Amino acid sequence: MKVDMKIEKKYLVFRDEAREILDGIKKKAGASKQASVLLDFACVDFFSRSFVDEFINSVNKLRESRIEVTFTNLKPSLEGFINTVQATKAKIQREVTAQYDTKR
Amino acid sequence: MKFEYKKTFRFSELESEFVAISEEIEALKFPKGFLEFVLYALSELFANVREHSKAEKVSTTVKITDRNCLIDVADEGVGFKKTYTASGIYAKDDVSAIEFALSGLSTKNLKERGFGLYSIRKLGEDLGGTLTVESGLARAIIRENTIAFVHRKQKMKGVRVGIAVPVKSLDFYKVIGQ
């Protein structure tokens, strides 16, 4: 099943906005066991870090449920910002895991 | 250049006020990376209020001239200490709670890190500015990589964060990625 979804906002700031997108995708994908979602960010000019952090978590959850998400019309600066937040999250996870392992 | 915004508004208006302020700020001319810093700081402070404060009202001041920028966001919500307590994290007093927030201790997931104040602090330091954080009976003043704590005479409700920085260029994405 293929789903197209356009994000109408210019600024995405809050975590609950990421969760709203997730809910919207789930609703559109319905009971489909495997879906492919194209998110259109043409209207979006700004992401906050909080939004991106939650958005990455949401996209990962969707992928676990076999819903593949791809982005279109994402401005290069926003794409770069997502990559930066993603890299920082991964780095922190590694650091925290290493700390836990050392304490054990 | 002169921009001034000072308003107390309802919690439910956080999003619309962010949009209103941002659209005006985007029309200003800044050195490279500075607009990104202003929007980043304001959005993180608003996101913190929305996620944690349980406040009814939010007071925000943004003052920008050619030389200086001040961003100040205050809520009258539950404050850091209660927020951490509600997440099962024990902060012995308001100073500890502020230290937790500045170090990036997340209330959401101990395997992650709360980035709001942690990253604002890094950006503020990179710009050579001052960050002031107040909650309960404590006030922290962060300047040149050092934190000074002051005991407030009167207990304040909620959290106030003030950032004062010179307007200058910065490698925004490099600092954020550190």
Instruction: Work out whether strand B2-10 and strand B57-65 pair parallel, antiparallel, or are unpaired.
Output: antiparallel
Would the pLDDT of A99 be above 80? no
DSSP line for B60-110 = EEEEEESSEEEEEEEE-SSHHHHHHHHTT---SSHHHHHHHHHHT--SS-T
Q: Dump pLDDT digits (tens) for A36-95.
A: 999 999 999 999 999 999 999 999 988 888 889 999 999 999 999 999 998 887 877 676
**Residues B160 and B73 sit within 8 Å (Cβ to Cβ):** yes
Sort strands B130-143 and B146-166 into parallel, antiparallel or unpaired: antiparallel
Can you tell me the mean pLDDT for B36-43?
96
- Per-residue model confidence (pLDDT) at position B139: 97
Q: Name the residue with tokens 């001052």.
A: B130
Decide: residue A17, CB within 10 A, 0-12 exposed, 13-18 middle, 19+ buried: buried
Q: Do A11 and B22 touch (CB under 8 A)?
A: yes
pLDDT tens for residues A8-18?
Answer: 999 999 999 99
User: What is the model's pLDDT at position A91?
Assistant: 76
Residue A34 pLDDT exceeds 90: no
Query: By CA distance, what is A46's nearest residue in B?
Result: B39
* pLDDT in the model for residue B24: 96
In chain A, the number of structural domains is 1
Burial category of B147 from C-beta neighbours within 10 Å (exposed 0-12, middle 13-18, buried 19 and up): middle
Quick: pLDDT tens for B82-122. Answer: 988 888 888 999 999 999 888 877 665 544 555 578 889 98
Closest CA relative to residue B52, chosen from B113, B120, B114, B6: B114
Is the pLDDT score of A32 beyond 90?
no
Task: Point out which residues pair with B150 in neighbouring strands.
Answer: B139
Full residue range of the structural domain in which residue A16 is found: 2-103
- To the nearest whole angstrom, how far is the Cα of B43 from the nearest Cα of chain A? 6
Interface predicted TM-score (ipTM) of this complex, two decimals:
0.89
Res. B23 pLDDT band, cuts 50 70 90: very high
> How many contacts does A have with B, using Cβ atoms within 8 A?
65
Above pLDDT 70, what percent of chain A? Answer: 88
Identify which of B1, B26, B37, B58 has the alpha carbon closest to the alpha carbon of residue B131: B37
For A:4-43, CB contacts with B below 8 A are 10-11, 13-16
Full-model pTM: 0.91
Q: Residue B115 and residue A49: Cβ atoms within 8 Å?
A: yes
The pLDDT, as a whole number, for residue A20 is: 94
Q: Quick one: CA torsion of B48, B49, B51, B52, rounded to 10 degrees?
A: 100
Q: Any chain A CB within 8 A of the CB of B14? A: yes
- Give the one of B22, B116, B176 whose C-beta lies nearest to A46's C-beta: B22
Beta pairing, strands B2-10 & B146-166: unpaired
Residue B150 has pLDDT above 90, yes or no: yes
Question: So what's the pLDDT on residue B106?
Answer: 66
pLDDT of residue B47 exceeding 90: yes
Q: Kindly state the helix (H) or strand (E) to which residue B7 belongs, with its residue range.
A: strand B2-10
Domain CATH for A70: 3.30.750.24
Partner A contacted by B111 (CB < 8 A): yes
Pairing of strands B146-166, B68-75: antiparallel
Q: What is the pLDDT of residue B88?
A: 86
Query: Exposed, middle or buried: residue B96 (CB in 10 Å: 0-12, 13-18, 19+)?
Result: middle
What pLDDT, on a 0 to 100 scale, did the predictor assign at position B87? Answer: 84
